[in-house]
Structure 1
Amino acid sequence: MSDRLVEIGVIVAGSLDEVDEAAVRRALGQFREFVTSRFPDFRWEITSSRRPEAVASNRTAPSALLQQALEERDEQHWDFAFAITAAELESHYSHHCFAALSRPLDSAVFSLSLIDPRAIGRAAESEERIATIAKRLSRLMLHAVAHLLGLARDSSPNNLLFHPTSAEQLDAMEELTESQVERHNAALKEIADQRLEEQTGNPTTSLGFMLRSAVINAREIWQAIGAARPWEFPRRLSGLTLAAVSTLVVLLLTAESWDLALSQNNFSTSVLVLLSWIGTTTYVV
């Protein structure tokens, strides 16, 4: 079994009826089956949670559910968080909004309302509704993962990265190109790297954690130091150093400074001058 773990949290926001419940379970199974077969180098873990209080009406703002998803993602250390609701999603750009996602939050929201065959007034039995909703929801989830990984849209209606304008177009979205699979794998390698705080083992102190972090990230640390070019600091700070020296000269020309200096021996005076120089330079910097 691969040690490259990708964790996805699924939050069921609000209440679902029996059809939606069955459709969500089937969709998660279809999603897992697809990603496991297309990306076998990774181990996929999908965790579900319920937040019935998150949606209290038939319409809700996607931003509120994205924030809920973000909070749970951070708390549970998931890589991605999906919120699923039966409520309609408010939209300012179109009359139909069955999904919304945010790359900065690594989260997405899906509405079951508009991907239900009954949304367009079509009569359908429970099993047909479950099958249709499940397939469309799993396609939306695959579409969202791809975009959250940084992949761009595709113009082919059969591609999972096609931008659908209706729920019916989701039915044809089933494939990824080889190039898209390669980009998926490259992005997933970074996502699946186990964070240090998630690694199992004996508890460690703050100092031990920092030392382990330094060892693991040694290459990145040296690259950052090189990019900062610390050997150029004296040249960059020459102006500030001149300002510090000027400030020190002004201080030395005051009567109080002369009185203090005259009451000190040579060693004490030298130490005080040095401390003043260091102090004023530090303050200016």
Structure 2
Amino acid sequence: MRTGHETELRTDGDESSSKPPLEIGLVIAGRMDDARMQAVETMRDRLAGRLQRDFDQFRWVLRIVNRSETRLRRPGSVRVEPTELLEIGQTERESYRWDFIIVITQSDLRTHDKPFAMGIVARVQDAAILSTSRLDPEGVSATARPQDRGDLLATRLLALALHALGHLNGLAHMDDPHNIMYEPATPADLNTMASWTAEQKEDVAANLRLIADVRLEEQVDALRSSRLSFYLKGTWVNRHEIADAVLQAHPWEFPRRLARLTTAAFSTALILLMTAETWDLASSVSPGKLLILIVIALSVTTAFVTARQRLLVRRTRRLTEQTVVANVAVVAIVLSGMMTTFFGLLGTTLAFQVLVFRTSVVRTWAASLQEPWTFAHSLVVASFVAALGLVIGAFGASFEEYNYFRHVAFVDEET
């Protein structure tokens, strides 16, 4: 088996072409048999031709990098963890400075939301993972003819790659089973997914124009920029892409998906509500100090979870615009998730106060309060308790499985 083998395909032989270049890296992760490798190369050729035909205002460069030496599965595991493949892809992308990265493996993918997945999309990293495990006719049917195997596998890989690129460029699902953005339920659905609508092509082209612009690190003034100013400029220039990545991550689902964090936060809130000291202390906190406490709680928990789960892309060479986008987006995703949890705690705590605690009891616990108890006081106590509960809940995130937390933060879709 070839190790470290690289092949590159350019759709325009004139390297001085005025068309802005767009580069896609195809990384073969782990061992792959010759038949599947040939199907990948066929898919690469077809993908290059399709992209050049549909988006001929760009010059497409597609490179295959074979990393067959990569060990994927852990002892006792039958599926590979997608986030481990994302790390492999991110490393290669930083090395080659690709615009998009597609990691291809013949291993089955571990899933968290569906029974199985043929691929996953991680928009925050402009990355996708494709698995040939369920696409390959030989893997699912003993009657598949050898001469048909490679062509059918290449066809399915092409449809899945185009589907992933559609998501990475902001497209949503369509109901038409012949459309590239149809949500496939089985590998057979990929056989007929082949068309874009005119509107889809316009949307993709608009996003590709932004991606094809000269990167910040390639600009002369960037060489003289400090790290902070580079981050600020990169964030502003890519603000729409970052916002889209946050929305695709569905941070409002964090309380449901991160059960340990949520359980720790809500348990803490309930315990605090049962102590008189909490009511007495919280009712005497001024609105200004309470706001500062909430900001500190959100900042500390976001920083702790991001660092604890090692979510930031490490700087490999020099700072790049892609690294800025990935890091800012993931921090924004975690912060949004923490805010969702905080407001969930706030609402639950406030409702619990109103339904369970009588005003006469609360007034006795808040002994230092010199004025009548009002709903505003209940809101202050609920906010105080929610802020403290969030901080304790962040420690609960330490017990979340490392790869699962990364999956929640990075993976937008299991296809």
Identical pairs, percent: 32
SS of corresponding position for 2:125 = coil
Q: Secondary structure at the match of 2:162?
A: helix
Question: Aligned AA for 1:29?
Answer: D
Matched, 1:47 2:63: yes
Superposition TM-score, scaled by structure 1 size: 0.68
Matches within 5 A, 1:152-171: 152-171=172-191
1:174 is the counterpart of 2:194: yes
Return the alpha-carbon distance in structure 2 between the equivalents of residues 69 and 86 of structure 1. 15
Report if aligned partners of 1:2, 1:41 keep a CA contact under 8 Å in 2.
no
8 Å Cα contact 1:70/1:106 also seen in 2: no
Say whether residues 1:126 and 2:146 are aligned partners: yes
How far is the alpha carbon of 1:62 from its aligned partner? 0.8
Please give the per-residue CA displacement for 1:127-180, whole angstroms capped at 9, x wherever unaligned: 211001001001111111110011111111000001101000000000000000
The structure with the largest alpha-carbon Rg is: 1
CA contact (8 A) 2:43 2:157 kept: yes
Residue 157 of structure 2 is aligned to residue 141 of structure 1: no
User: Cα distance, 1:204 vs. partner?
Assistant: 8.7
Correspondence for 1:190 among 185, 210, 223: 210
CA RMSD of aligned residues (A): 2.4
Q: 8 Å contact 2:28–2:104 — kept in the other structure?
A: yes
Farther-moved stretch of structure 1 (72-81 vs 5-14): 72-81
**Residues 1:102 and 2:122 are matched in the alignment:** yes
Query: Pick from 77, 92, 95: which aligns with 1:72?
Result: 92
Aligned residues: 211
Matched to 1:74, the amino acid is: E
Superposed, which structure 2 residues align to 1:178-257 within 5 Å? 178-198=198-218, 206-207=223-224
The 5-angstrom pairing of residues 27-42 of structure 1 reads 27-42=43-58
One-letter amino acid matched to 1:15: R
Counterpart CA distance in 2 for 1:123 and 1:134 is 18
What residue in structure 2 maps to residue 16 of structure 1? 32
Q: How much has 1:95 moved relative to structure 2? A: 2.8
1:192–1:204: structure 2 CA closer, same or farther, 3 Å change rule? closer
Check 1:197–1:119 CA distance in 2 against 1; reply closer, same or farther (3 A cut): same
CA distance in 2, matches of 1:205, 1:96: 44
Q: Secondary structure at the match of 2:124?
A: coil
Aligned CA distance change for structure 1 residues 2 and 156 (closer, same or farther; 3 Å):
farther
Task: Tell me which residue corresponds to 1:89.
Answer: 109
Give the 3 Å change call, closer, same or farther, for CA 60–205 of structure 1 in structure 2.
closer
CA drift at 1:31: 0.6
Distance in structure 2 (CA, Å) of the matches to 1:6 and 1:205: 21
Structure 1 distance, partners of 2:46, 2:222, is: 43
For residue 117 of structure 1, what is the amino acid of its counterpart? P
Give the 3-state SS of the residue equivalent to 2:94 in structure 1. Answer: helix
Q: 5+ unaligned residues in a row in structure 1: which ranges?
A: 222-285
CA drift at 1:114: 0.3
Q: Partners of 1:187 and 1:60 in 2: how far apart?
A: 31
1:3 pairs with 16, 19, 22, which one?
A: 19
Deviation at 1:196, TM superposition (A): 4.3
When normalised by structure 2's length, the TM-score is 0.48
